Amino acid sequence: MKLNALLLEKKTEIIEKWFDAIVACYPPDTAQFLKNKKDRFTNPMGATILQGIENIFDKLLPDNDCSDIAPFLDNIIRIRAVQDFTPSQAVAFIFLLKKVIREELRQEIQENKLYEELLAFELKIDNLALSTFDIYMKCREKLYEIKANEVKNMTFRLLQQANLICEIPGYRPDVKDDDNIKK
């Protein structure tokens, strides 16, 4: 039996265990909520994670194309980027899949000597983790950019209220453009 067939056969169990492993990194109350409420309206975060990992798993299967996997990663990483995770914690959910697959398919892998196929599949997961980190960094950069612009806007408004800024009629500097501030 090939690894691909085993992965398809055990897909539901693998995804459930992967979801449980991801949710386990949250505080107990949050984890309980995420596990029990899978409706996208009452628990959009849990539903997004579950749907995302299902799509990621499907794309990772050996016969599928991984080139369009980024949107599924992006949906999950956007959630994790705004939470109180370190970068390694934010992308660790990808590596949890390796652990789940090894635990779920241990016996079948040994019996059918699927080590080479497993290594090839795990290499795809490792490469996916690198892409996940890139997406995470872009999300964090965007968050810092938003925060910096908000501080600039707030400072400008405070200076305006304190009458410390002399305005030219009809001209308002764009606080996003550093060249206008220097002029």
118-173 pLDDT, tens digit per residue, is 999 999 999 999 999 999 999 989 988 998 999 988 988 888 888 777 666 776 66
**For residue 158, what are the domain limits?**
148-182
Provide the phi-psi class of 163: left if phi over 0, else alpha when psi is between -120 and 50, else beta.
left
Look at residue 35 and tell me whether its pLDDT is greater than 90: no
Same domain, 91 and 18: yes
Same domain, 83 and 164: no
pLDDT for residue 166: 66
Apex 138 CA angle, 75 and 120, nearest 5: 65
pLDDT (average), residues 70-99: 91
Look at residue 63 and tell me whether its pLDDT is greater than 60: yes
Same domain, 86 and 56: yes
Residue 20: alpha-carbon gap to chain centroid: 16
Same domain, 133 and 153: no
Same domain, 65 and 115: yes
Q: What is the pTM of this model?
A: 0.76
Look at residue 178 and tell me whether its pLDDT is greater than 80: no
pLDDT (average), residues 58-81: 85
Q: Structural domain tally of the chain?
A: 2
Inter-residue contact 105 to 6 (CB < 8 Å): yes
Same domain, 58 and 91: yes
Same domain, 88 and 165: no
Same domain, 9 and 72: yes
